[in-house]
Structure 1
Amino acid sequence: MAHGSNYKVAFRRRREGKTDYGARIKLIDYEKPRLVVRISNNQATVQIVDYSPEGDITRTSAVGKQLADYGYLGNTGNITGVYLTGYLCGKRALAAGIDYAILDIGLRSPIKGSKIFAALKGAVDAGLEVPHGDFIFPEDERIRGEHIANYAESLDDDEKAKKFSKYLERGLEPADLPANFEKGLPIMELEIVDALIPDLEEEVMDVNLVQRMHKSGRKVNFRVIVAVGNKDGYVGLGQGKAKEVGPAIRKAVDNAKYNIIKVRRGCGDWGCVCGREHTVPFKVQGKTSSVSVNLMPAPAGVGLVIGDVGKTILKLAGIHDVWSQSFGQTQTTVNFANAVFNALKTLSEVKATQEDLKKMGVNY
């Protein structure tokens, strides 16, 4: 280590080669959330981070190993896996009311077409606004994994079994990677949602002031929660933040349309044999933070036995009768709304035979 009266010892993370403080202070001066991308040999970690004098605050994040929960069977450390991790983080950021961020690549070199910019493209494709130039993105063929599939096809069976052993253990042929990538990708264009479900209705459920302290003073925004639905089996929930109520509502409506789901309805109450789709077909539970909500089938004519927030979401989903139980701090509108919405999501995730579904009045 150097010596002398003018020598100043560098910060520990600078000495360890972990932080470029010159670049960091420039990013902090923008006073915007940072899209932090870090790449390891096995996976990518993508986070939305806010600056705080006491330490950075992670608003939302996604890591490569979480892709398996969404049906992705490929390698989480290649360009395809990194893109999907960025996409997942972008969707979670929008759900948290974050629609703008600046890219933070740490000590990585900004190489055109690299994994760093694959994660950036994923976040941008999810709807997150990040300043960039399109020329830096990897080619679409590489993002879909076509180069991996082509390479696998050039190998004989023994070489493929050796080099793609993890793929084969998960039940994925390397040549099927592009198809696995395309599997289950949601609609990302609001115009398509409007064309497919033209009769969507909107309901503003909560408008609230949120504040955070920054080195330049107190930052105040409006947070709006909106539900959309066609009262016939489709419903979505979203939130948006802005300095004014109008833009916050528009952001929340767009976010709700991105999150729209099809709700499984039926006639699941043992005392009702009408066969109409007027209630939930079976008991389900949804949970967000401290709030837990149970939705149970009810006979026709009972109505919606649930709080006002839940009534709004269920009406937009086309459910007319339900029993419910709720636990936790249900006065917190955002948590109660998300718990009800998660319960409706669970309806479609429960596996049942076609015969049982028919008995409960479910038509799909």
Structure 2
Amino acid sequence: MATTEAAENQSPAQADDGNARTRDNNRGGGGGRGRGGPGGGRDNNRGRGRGGRDDRRGGRGGDDDGEELIEKLVHINRVAKVVKGGKRFGFAALVVVGDGKGRVGFGHGKAREVPEAINKATAAAKKKMIRVPLKEGRTLHHDGKGHFGAGRVVVRSAPAGTGIIAGGPMRAVFEALGVADVVTKSVGTSNPYNMIRATFDGLTNQSSPKSVAQRRGKKVADLLGRGGQVSEAEAQAEAEAITE
């Protein structure tokens, strides 16, 4: 009854003002819930979706770059083609690529611009990488020779601290390969293409004691015994130290 009497005592203007305030409050609350609920959810979902896509892209990039490769530009040659309107210049690049852990490859590419030629050569080098067994991860297991055309090279293993004694294209190959101690000599042509091919011919002939023992059906310690010059304990320790 009190509520009814209060309502009856209110003037029409006061009643209209109260109803308007009630409607404004309802609108504000509903609007806040609407914006904070579905709208906020959409914004959050968009943020999570974009973040997820960016993470996936970053993951793919990380997989591609997971293997850090050493790229060495050995030689760039400019060639010209004479046409009716003048000369058209092109570029040929020779690149050596390696992982510094026993894998190396070389490739060459041609294009109208230098960066494109380098990219082509790098892609070709990555497809033709070979694995070379290394002794203690720093030098070759044995001496070797390689030749291609008029190019002839000699590669020799060296003790620790020797460094890379090589010049020109051969140095780039051994730096990309991860060799720290080696002695080399190039006899014949100085053409970088033939020198690189001759060097790779010598590296492909490299073999490790482990592969020789498997091929001959023997143990690595038997091969390292050297006809009784080394004790069995030393030969066994040396065999256990060989990983490739």
Q: TM-score range by the shorter chain?
A: 0.5 to 0.7
SS at match of 1:228: strand
Partner of 1:254: 123
Alpha-carbon distance in 1 for matches of 2:120, 2:162: 35
Please give the TM-score of this superposition, normalised by the length of structure 1.
Answer: 0.40
Partner of 2:203: 344
Partner of 1:363: 243
CA 1:247–1:236: 2 relative to 1, 3 Å:
same
Partner of 1:231: 100
CA 1:279–1:245: 2 relative to 1, 3 Å:
same
Structure number with larger C-alpha Rg: 2
Q: Per residue, is there more helix in 1 or in 2? A: 2
Map 1:76-115 to 2 at 5 A.
none
Alpha-carbon distance in 2 for matches of 1:305, 1:363: 25
Partner of 1:334: 193
Map 1:1-364 to 2 at 5 A.
195=64, 198-211=67-80, 220-266=89-135, 276-330=136-190, 332-348=191-207, 352-354=212-214, 355=220, 356=223, 359=239, 362-364=242-244
Determine if contact 2:155/2:184 at 8 Å carries over to the other structure. Answer: yes
Alpha-carbon distance in 2 for matches of 1:349, 1:281: 6
Task: Report deviation, 1:343.
Answer: 1.7
Alpha-carbon distance in 2 for matches of 1:340, 1:195: 29
Determine if contact 1:287/1:342 at 8 Å carries over to the other structure. Answer: yes
Alpha-carbon distance in 1 for matches of 2:143, 2:66: 27
Determine if contact 2:133/2:208 at 8 Å carries over to the other structure. Answer: no
Please give the TM-score of this superposition, normalised by the length of structure 2.
Answer: 0.58
Stretches of structure 2 that go unaligned for 5 or more consecutive residues are 1-59, 215-219, 225-237
The one-letter code sitting in structure 1 at the alignment partner of 2:185 is Q
Partner of 2:231: none
CA 1:292–1:219: 2 relative to 1, 3 Å:
farther
CA 1:209–1:361: 2 relative to 1, 3 Å:
farther
Stretches of structure 1 that go unaligned for 5 or more consecutive residues are 1-190, 267-275
Task: Report deviation, 1:325.
Answer: 2.3
Using the aligned pairs only, state the percent identity.
30
CA displacement 1:202-256 (0-9 Å, x = unmatched): 1111111134678998654211011111111111111101111011001000000
CA 1:334–1:197: 2 relative to 1, 3 Å:
farther
Task: Report deviation, 1:280.
Answer: 0.5
Alpha-carbon distance in 2 for matches of 1:258, 1:226: 12
Alpha-carbon distance in 2 for matches of 1:318, 1:346: 17
CA 1:238–1:349: 2 relative to 1, 3 Å:
farther
Alpha-carbon distance in 2 for matches of 1:256, 1:231: 14
The one-letter code sitting in structure 2 at the alignment partner of 1:264 is P
The one-letter code sitting in structure 2 at the alignment partner of 1:283 is D
CA displacement 1:84-111 (0-9 Å, x = unmatched): xxxxxxxxxxxxxxxxxxxxxxxxxxxx
Question: Aligned Cα RMSD in Å?
Answer: 3.0
Alpha-carbon distance in 1 for matches of 2:138, 2:157: 9
CA displacement 1:275-306 (0-9 Å, x = unmatched): x2211101122212211111111111111111
Determine if contact 2:104/2:177 at 8 Å carries over to the other structure. Answer: yes
The one-letter code sitting in structure 2 at the alignment partner of 1:225 is L
SS at match of 2:122: helix
Alpha-carbon distance in 2 for matches of 1:204, 1:312: 8
Determine if contact 2:70/2:176 at 8 Å carries over to the other structure. Answer: yes
The one-letter code sitting in structure 1 at the alignment partner of 2:96 is A
